[in-house]
Amino acid sequence: MIAGWQISFLWVLTLKTVLLLSTYPIASPRHGGQVRVANIAKTFGENGWSVTHLAVYEPEGYPPSTLGGNDVSFPADSEFRKYKGTYVPLINDLLSGEFAASERGGFADILNKLPPAIDVIHVEQPWLWPLVLKIHQMPQYAHACLIYGSQNIEAPLKQEILDSYGIKGAESVIADIETLERKAALEADIAVAVTQADFDILEAWGAKKPLLASNGIAPWSAKPELLASWKERLPKSPWILYVASAHPPNFTGFNECLGSSLACIPPDSKLVVVGSVCEHLETTLRDSRWGQLNLSRLQLLYMLPDEDLDAVKTLAHAFLLPIPHGGGSNIKTAEAIYSGKYVIGTESAFRGFERHLDLPEISVARTPSEFHAAIRMRLTGPATIDGSGPDRATREPLTWARSLESIPLAAAQVIEKKAQA
């Protein structure tokens, strides 16, 4: 005869079904949010879970080739694209939750894509929390463990973005975002933070089970033929790499950190830039008073396939992290630290990675003059290790497999506890 605790344990082992929700597809992850969600899905899968990912996405931002089979479009002409009857820029993430949970919106389509059994509903960022609650109210899903993945404390970050675009009168929007993320933190069985500072906030808000699961990286290895090819196309002298998406703080923050000038880059070197930030950064640097000089120090590679990006990262002499403020943590910081190359960044850039600040190759800069001095020093100094030396073991916690492993473990514990209740 099997004891009650054994039945409970076996129940937890066999019922491992997670519905993972986000406001962006993850079939071809590019920006940081996509990469984190894709790795959460991978981590659940590697720990024995069946994973269904569903995105409620803006079709103008993601071409069909990037979509998964369960993704649901939030159409540009939807009535839900208005905030209280008015168009407000840059808040479609907030509006997606009401759309997804409404019978007049996307809920009927979403309902057809749900698996027959769900043991965990994990939502990244608070935007789709109304959908989480709608699903959770259905009898067949009422027992599910709810996980809220807080990638940032969103209200102040959204305020920063709206301010940078000169959008006024958005106090109600910011208040609604704060209410939503506090609600998610309080109602979730597990609230996941990416930094200790965010963890402390979730805990202060009253989260039932706050959990710290930092951002991480996927270790990379460049192909020899691509290394040879890119070595011919990149500067012969030491150069510095900046990888970023078109997220507004990635170019407004750059100018704030470097004072809109690349005069610190030696004439025979370059700032090499990869990602959708390229066209925005080119515009802002060209339009500064040092525009001609800036363009002479800039090499824009735009979007690259992962294999090419691996080669470029391997060849870089240094990494640049100009992130002046904001919340959460930056995946590019984890990559830069893991590389073993020189890393120059703000204090904010190292949020979540403070334990690595004493590494000799890391420089923290607080003003444009400090950035310029650090860049000049690193580009004229000797190369660092390539990241494959004996200290690589100390960087293992930076990998996604290590940084996210606590999430499925905590979910299994909650399921077991619910089974015993």
Which residues are CB-contacts of 202 (< 8 A; sequence separation ≥ 6)? 150, 185, 191, 193, 210
DSSP 217: B
Mark out the alpha helices in 15-47 (DSSP H runs): 32-46
What is each CA distance from 343 to 311, 336, 347, in whole angstroms? 17, 6, 12
Mark out the alpha helices in 287-354 (DSSP H runs): 291-296, 306-315, 331-339
**Domains, the chain:** 4-213+404-420 (3.40.50.2000), 224-398 (3.40.50.2000)
Lookup: tokens for 134 = 């709608």
Which residues are CB-contacts of 73 (< 8 A; sequence separation ≥ 6)? 57, 58, 59, 106
Lookup: tokens for 335 = 């990559």
Which residues are CB-contacts of 390 (< 8 A; sequence separation ≥ 6)? none
Query: How many residues in total does the chain contain?
Result: 421
Per-residue pLDDT of the chain (421 residues; tens, 9 = 90+): 444 444 344 444 465 899 999 999 999 998 889 999 999 999 999 999 999 999 999 999 999 999 999 999 999 999 999 999 999 999 999 999 999 999 999 999 999 999 999 999 999 999 999 999 999 999 999 999 999 999 999 999 899 889 988 998 899 999 999 999 999 999 999 999 999 999 999 999 999 999 999 999 988 999 999 999 999 999 999 999 999 988 877 888 888 899 989 999 999 999 999 999 999 999 999 998 999 999 999 999 999 999 999 999 999 999 999 988 767 788 899 999 999 999 999 999 999 899 889 999 999 999 999 999 999 999 998 876 554 444 566 678 899 999 999 999 999 999 999 888 7
